[in-house]
Amino acid sequence: MNVCFFSREYPPETHAGGIGTYTHNTAVALSGLGHAVHVIASTRGSGGTSCVDGVWLHRLGTSGDAPRGLDRLRYSRSVARAAGKIGVRFDIVQASEFGAEAFWFSLRKRAPLVTRLATPLFLTERLNAAAQSPGRILVNRMERAQTRRSDGVLASTRALAGVAAAEWKIPPSRIEVIPNSVDVARIVRLAERRPLPQILRNKPYLLYFGRLEERKGIRVLTDALPSFMEKDAEICVVFAGSDSGYQGTPFREIIEDAAGPRARNRLIFFDNLPQEELFPIVAAARIVVLPSLWEAFGFVCVEALALGRPVIATSGSGFEEIIDDGDSGYLVAPGDSGRLAAKILACLRDDTELSRISAGAKKRAADFDVTRIVPRLLEFYERVREERPAQGRGSRRTESVRPRSPEGKMGREIFRTGAYVPYFQPDDKRSPFFRIYQRKRQDVAHMIDETRGPGEILDIGGGPGRLFQSVSDDSGGRLVVADVSLEMCVLARKKPDRPDRVRVVSADAQSLPFRDGSFQMIVGLDLFCHLEDPGKALREFARVLREDGVLVLDSSNSVPFWALSYPRYLGRNPLNWLRILRRKGVYPGWEGIVSHYPKKTFFSFLECAGFTVEKSLDYGPRVCPKWHLAVAGKKRAGV
């Protein structure tokens, strides 16, 4: 197979991050299996072609600075032209979405195009709180257009696939999830090749490596420094990576100021290091700390695991798909410097535990070795090649990503990322359920406004904050919106009509981070059908609800004849009607992650969790409602 990668980053000259690491690992592995591999990368020199490690490397001369705005467009055009001049008929062309290097190529593809999601610019801007500019708006649109025009789309984690699908309106089932790979043997060899820098010898140290920027959680780690450095007078902290700064101030200055004069001499900084210099430092670290606010994948995490280093990373994003918490590393909540400091101290004080985690880390890293991942990639390439001729070459399509069968669909993780949102748009007047959803929401908002008592009101599974516009200002001031998806919480916080006093919290309904008896009312709309363990969630609701509190919860009816009243839901294909009816009203492709229940079963769940249903409302056709809504209170003692 002839494969061409577009990757501005490629080691050693232009190796700045994960895109370069991925391209090098994959290209060399494919070449080793006998495939002809070409890489079009950049150089600060005059450019040229060479063969390195069996890979044909074509360097394009650039200014050296990362291109922005129109420069991205020009660079994309240069890459497309360079691919045409190689003189090879490629079976697959692959590029990352970041920077839209394949945008120009996607306009008139001469080969099947695969876009691999890295970290889209919109997500980087959001996490770094970067201001919009005309150039960034252009690049965002180019990235989106390239991805949607691709013949195949890859993501390294379900978390990343979900975020991109939600933002760019790509059905999540159309994104293939294949983890990134590393060459474990090479990482170990490089770690053993050079001695440790003199400044680090005979010193116990904690390591962060990667870019020093806001989205990587550097300020969170900075806030945690005084807590654990005061209690452990010997531990040093090493930072290895380029400094992006924060609001015009280098992170090094921010970190040194936070540590204070007594701990400042135990801070050690390195700039961006080549892997042969970096990996010996990683291998000798006691703990690697990666406190990202959100991470698509994290090559640095897998590299640390490969060297047997205990890693403390963050939950709620791609790290969760790499680290098994308590077995191959640790996960803490993002943005919580207190918990991070506590976990670091606990690890530093327990050498036996660190040894156990180290063994688990090495074992887990083997799952990401190129020898296991690349065969899956080749299978995906073959499917993309087989699909493309039937679509017609040169045709213009809004979305040309190959659909996958329901069996290959993602699991419940899509609810963590908010990727289901393109499929659930009840506020869209074209939605078949628009009117009854509006009526249900208005009824619940009225209940909220009538609620009395000292406790707050929890909107669990609140998504982007759909109840904001319906409740009164007084009730809005008591409202806490919680959703398992960090992406949904970001959207809720940015909602223009959000009352100032509404709190938005990232929380799992099955493990709520609230004290017992915190809430006067709990509302869960369109939540129950998505719960993996409804009983566990209901017990959590009972725990955080006051004794005189009220639970308002709805469930979708498993008697499916309501669907016959909504032809736009059924679609035009009669076979689809049969599938929906057989699946209890669940749309094909969502079975296994969405569950509908009979009214009696729904109420039984509530009874078993300690609730008494005081009132019920039905929404939809009278004979067979779409939704059952229950208003319940906690059972009295002795009843």
Q: Which amino acid is at 198?
A: Q
Sign of the C-alpha dihedral, residues 330, 336, 339, 344?
A: positive
Does the pLDDT value for residue 10 go beyond 70?
Answer: yes
Residue the block writes with tokens 């180019």: 142
Closest CA to 524 of 413, 638, 606: 606
Q: Check residue 497 and give its pLDDT.
A: 60
Q: Check residue 398 and give its pLDDT.
A: 35
Q: How many CB atoms lie within 10 A of CB 425?
A: 13
d(CA 330, CA 318): 13
Does the pLDDT value for residue 135 go beyond 90?
Answer: no
- For the segment 385-411, the average pLDDT, to the nearest whole number, is 45
Closest CA to 308 of 282, 347, 277, 326: 282
Does the pLDDT value for residue 329 go beyond 90?
Answer: yes
pTM: 0.59
Query: For residue 185, what are the β-bridge partners?
Result: none
DSSP assignment, residue 94?
A: E
My answer on whether omega of the bond before 195 falls inside 30° of 0, hence cis, is no
d(CA 213, CA 548): 47
Label residue 629 by pLDDT band (50, 70, 90): very high
Q: Check residue 407 and give its pLDDT.
A: 36
Does the pLDDT value for residue 242 go beyond 60?
Answer: yes
Sign of the C-alpha dihedral, residues 386, 389, 393, 396?
A: negative
Query: For residue 242, what are its two tokens?
Result: 């380029």
Q: Check residue 314 and give its pLDDT.
A: 95
Q: How many CB atoms lie within 10 A of CB 440?
A: 22
Model confidence pLDDT, tens digit, residues 547-567: 999 999 999 999 999 988 888
d(CA 176, CA 198): 45
Number of alpha carbons in the 13 Å side-chain half-sphere of residue 261: 0
- For the segment 437-442, the average pLDDT, to the nearest whole number, is 90
Model confidence pLDDT, tens digit, residues 35-62: 889 999 988 777 788 888 888 999 998 7
Does the pLDDT value for residue 394 go beyond 60?
Answer: no
Which H/E stretch holds residue 115? strand 113-117
Mean pLDDT, rounded, of the chain: 86
What residue ranges define each of the domains in the chain, with the CATH number in brackets?
A: 2-181+377-408 (3.40.50.2000), 184-368 (3.40.50.2000), 424-634 (3.40.50.150)
- For the segment 187-198, the average pLDDT, to the nearest whole number, is 94
Label residue 496 by pLDDT band (50, 70, 90): low
Report the b/e string of 507-542 with b at 16+ CB within 10 A.
bbbbebebeeebbbbbbbbbbbbbbeebeebbebbb
Are 348 and 235 in contact, with CB atoms under 8 Å apart? yes
CB neighbour class for 614 (10 Å; exposed up to 12, middle 13-18, buried from 19): exposed
CB neighbour class for 504 (10 Å; exposed up to 12, middle 13-18, buried from 19): buried
Q: Give the residue with greater pLDDT, 429 vs 384.
A: 384
Q: Check residue 392 and give its pLDDT.
A: 41
Q: Check residue 638 and give its pLDDT.
A: 54
Are 43 and 61 in contact, with CB atoms under 8 Å apart? yes
Model confidence pLDDT, tens digit, residues 345-385: 999 999 999 999 999 999 999 999 999 999 999 999 999 98
